[in-house]
Structure 1
């Protein structure tokens, strides 16, 4: 349930799994609840090695006021919902607002932003769940804002993910030129030959600065050097308070430091994707 419904090629990895599972010395046992049906102690008795590889069920919290307001969700919930996970199919996401905010800049955050940017025509032939497609068809969201606490050289998304936003039918990307100004340490990080994707990503982001909207009404706005400080609203999300950051530290270990300068961004939906 974690692969984006519009990324069918990635789902083809199942062919590799099928090949592995066809081996006579490999067995798959499903519908087993470790700790209930069998204990780890018992598993260790019967196997030479026991590897716990089940991921994190819950997301990290931002730890800011207003995080639990209605309209503030984890990206994990949203992804599971649009992918048709049975435990999440009855979740409710309000897409009647004009502006949505996604916190984080990894590939999951990118997936969430892309789904919100796409039209029904772009999504209807994907693996997206029917209930999610029905809700997203009524979306009134005009702007999707993605927030990152550090800069373009430190962003965790991959080149393929960011490139897609330049070719959407209904939405176009926006990046401020000032957000692409790098300090000396970031310049060295971006030019590190061990991480060529950083330079590719930066070049794509540069191309977004003066991109032609070409009649596309929906905006995908990428913010760098900002951290969420509070979510405000009367009973539900109405705005998010962001603090401007600067980077400090050595090459490869720069940290975001708040400047005290804040801004309020009105929004009705917040999706948190911070690990």
Structure 2
């Protein structure tokens, strides 16, 4: 019997568990640990609440989770409740699938001013992550600045621009919906250090901006490269450029010379502007008691890299959200790659018996589906490393060993069937038109998972 511990219950964790079942069938027991009482990681607290079709992938993970050979062990933090060395002593292989939940910092003056947020915290706030439920962003100013040119920046801009009615069918939490419905933001500036050809935005997400009921996306035509240069791009990027060019046509003026700026474009039927400011690098967050604006330097590309031109200007703003990437959380006694913001590894191997997968291995790149081949690849490596054990296995205690340790330490962990009680309660508490109302307090989750303990 093989005993596998997976730390992290997001896509990378469940795809790895699925691969383990296919590799060893009934000859494996997999325990999936998570610091949260609820599973699915990024699917629950990272994917935008209005992207329910993407969140539906969790149903696939339920099939794996309900296998007798797989167990969810929620509300257990590795490094606090149990150490890595203890897990390695109990299991034949430990796979870190913790993702990259921490924001990369801008490292700019004024970054710590109130109402400046990283995207992990801001997205966590409107997605109901318990760690960020008390964030309380202030939307009293008319301008927001979003730093970054990827899909997360688009998510943040879209959420800020939507009307209350457009959240119908989403699982945005009530406290965020109430705050956004009262928002005074009417201008959203998306800053990118490079140009349109260097964005990492995908066409589907970019195209959603054009469908918003009250928002007008704008691109300065002067920022666009000559149309002929789009031919060298891959098909996806050509579609992306098609959207950006359409935003320039809709947002630019009808001057005879074909030029215009984002400021002179009429959108008479929409009261929110989403402005793409390319070749724009933030240099400082301005303000005293709270953020009041962003100092920006105009850039140009030299060998594909943005270089400052020395020309600066200020963008007034009452809120700033930085969407510039993520880092994996450190775990005591696990080597860490400071530059990459992930665990130090060679093709997923960290040290004997310890592996990593997904964003914890390669950094925050790729889509949710990218984690499936990653999970299968790491299981092949584990099989190569432990395959010589034979049918008798290593003799490690595995699941019974952890249960004994948990009983000794009073670790109150949550099983998948107990998460389903939380799930049922969230669905029952949903406002009209929403799939659920998430609990944002761990104590309330535990009370639903273990009602008999709460009553005793």
Q: TM-score, normalised by structure 2?
A: 0.56
Shift of 1:231: 1.1
Residues 1:266 and 2:305 are matched in the alignment: no
Secondary structure at the aligned position of 2:314 is classed as strand
Q: Does 1:191 align with 2:235?
A: no
Secondary structure in 1 aligned to 2:190?
strand
Question: Corresponding residue for 2:31?
Answer: none
Equivalent pair of 1:232/1:239 in contact (CA under 8 Å): yes
What is residue 283 of structure 2 aligned with on the other side? 229
Aligned twin of 1:63: 107
Matches within 5 A, 1:169-208: 169-181=213-225, 187=229, 191-192=232-233, 195-208=234-247
**Alignment partner of 1:244 out of 270, 273, 298:** 298
Cα separation, 2, equivalents of 1:182 and 1:50:
51
In the TM superposition, 1:40-55 aligns within 5 A as 40-55=84-99
Alignment partners' CA distance in 1, 2:104 and 2:189:
20
- 1:5-49 per-residue CA deviation (whole Å, 9 max, x = no partner) reads 111101100111112223333222111110122211122223333
Q: Deviations over 1:208-232 (max 9, x none)?
A: 1122735011100011111100111
Map of 1:148 onto structure 2: 192
Q: Which residue of 2 aligns with 1:82?
A: 126
1:7-18 matches, within 5 Å, as 7-18=51-62
Q: Determine if contact 1:117/1:171 at 8 Å carries over to the other structure.
A: yes
Structure 1, unaligned stretches of length 5 or more?
none
- Which residue of 1 is the match for residue 46 of structure 2? 2
Does the CA-based 8 Å contact 1:145-1:220 persist in structure 2? yes
Deviation (angstroms), 1:118: 0.2
Where 1:33 maps in the other structure, the secondary structure is coil
1:237-272 C-alpha deviation (Å, 9 max, x unpaired): 1111111111122xxxx2111111111111111011
Q: Greater CA deviation, 27-36 or 262-271? A: 27-36
Name the SS of the counterpart of 1:211 in structure 2.
helix
Unaligned runs of 5+ in 2: 1-44, 252-266, 326-456
Instruction: For residue 89 of structure 2, give the secondary structure of its aligned residue in structure 1.
Output: helix
Structure 1 residue corresponding to 2:76, chosen from 32, 35, 41: 32
User: 1:135 is matched with which residue: 162, 176, 179?
Assistant: 179
The normalised TM-score by structure 1 is 0.91
Distance in 2, Cα, partners of 1:131 & 1:82: 8
After TM superposition, the structure 1 stretch with the greater mean CA deviation from structure 2, 195-204 or 209-218, is 209-218
In the TM superposition, residue 137 of structure 1 has moved relative to its aligned partner by 1.1
Q: By percentage of residues, which structure has more helix?
A: 2
Report the alpha carbon displacement of residue 59 of structure 1 after superposing the two structures with TM: 1.0
- The structure number with the bigger radius of gyration is 2
- Alpha-carbon distance, 1:196 to partner: 2.3
User: Are 1:165 and 2:209 matched, yes or no?
Assistant: yes
